[in-house]
Amino acid sequence: MNASNERETVLHAHNVHKSYGSKGGAQQVLRGIDLRVLRKEFVGIMGPSGSGKTTLLNVLATIDRTTDGTILIEDEDISTMSNTALSAFRRNKLGFIFQDYNLLDTLTVKENILLPLSLSKISKQQAENEFIAIADVLGIQEISQKYPFEISGGQKQRTAAGRALIHQPSIIFADEPTGALDSKSASSLLSVMEEVNRKRKVTIIMVTHDPVASSYCNRVVFLKDGKIYSELYRGEKSRQSFFKEIIDVQAVLGGDHIDSI
């Protein structure tokens, strides 16, 4: 990829609405979201309970459909794709990290990570090379032959991150990835995600309620009542300084509060 298109738009959501229920009693969750994400960004989405952050992640990640509006990912309109086309697009272009890991207990760490490549046409050697590269970044070489029930929560989440990365997706969507982890494991995972974003140039969009997690991002988007309330950019700020700015906005919005990084 040349320098001129490294920072191109990878995702563009325009006037996105999402409602649930029938017309008479419909609950409007997203109310005209406009969001542009550039390639290589690490974006956090925050907001109080009921603000629409998980719903937004779900429609951006093709897990749910919008009620109205368009979502372009790499200039492809996912809003108009058939279910079959959307499934293929999701498999080839997107990666997912969930709070509850979603690993298969009957497969080893390595087999779980390689699973997304089972339907691809890449050679066994290519798959092996990609696994080695990812395992090195994630620091999970030593547990590659272990099963999920034999490893810690932090190691499970690193395995989930490896599975999300293995097919070189355009975007990784992370839904509260540190929610089930202790603070040490959470910090370790976030450092790895930050490194993956920087070294492998993968775009990451992460929903979190945790300002510590958001402080690892390049940008944080705050939602309120289904709309974008404000945005913060980290720029050259330290993580500690960015954390304090996030806390200040969160205090205005309401929600969970954490006193220190």
pLDDT given at position 2: 42
List of residues 6+ apart from 165 with CB closer than 8 A: 95, 134, 172, 196, 200, 202
Q: Is there a domain that residue 193 lies in?
A: yes
pLDDT band per the 50, 70, 90 thresholds, residue 201:
confident
137 within some domain:
no
Residue 147 lies in a domain: no
Give pLDDT, residue 22. 77
Interior angle at CA 188, CA 131 and CA 146, nearest 5: 45
Two tokens at 165?
């990365």
Strand order in the sheet with 219-224: 94-98, 171-175, 203-207, 42-46, 219-224, 227-233
Under the banding of pLDDT at 50, 70 and 90, the label for residue 119 is confident
Q: Give the confidence band of 4 by pLDDT, cuts at 50, 70, 90.
A: very low
Instruction: Answer whether residue 192 is part of any domain.
Output: yes
Q: Are 29 and 67 in contact (CB under 8 A)?
A: no
The answer, yes or no, to whether residue 204 has pLDDT greater than 50, is yes
What residues make up the domain containing 225? Answer: 9-15+29-104+169-254
Angstrom distance (rounded) from CA 3 to CA 201: 13
CATH of the domain at 185: 3.40.50.300
Work out how many domains the chain is built from and give that number.
1
Q: Is 41 inside any structural domain?
A: yes
pLDDT of 132-158, one tens digit each?
A: 999 988 889 999 999 999 999 999 999
Q: Is residue 44 part of a domain?
A: yes
Residue 259 pLDDT exceeds 70: no
Q: What is the pLDDT of residues 39-87, one digit of tens each?
A: 999 999 999 999 999 999 999 999 999 999 999 999 999 999 999 999 9
Residue in 56, 118, 94, 117 with CA at minimum distance from that of residue 202 = 94
CA separation (Å) from 1 to 57, 117, 165, 248? 27, 23, 18, 38
CB atoms within 10 A of CB 152: 12
The pLDDT assigned to 26 comes to 82
Q: What is the pLDDT of residues 225-249, one digit of tens each?
A: 999 999 999 999 999 999 999 999 9
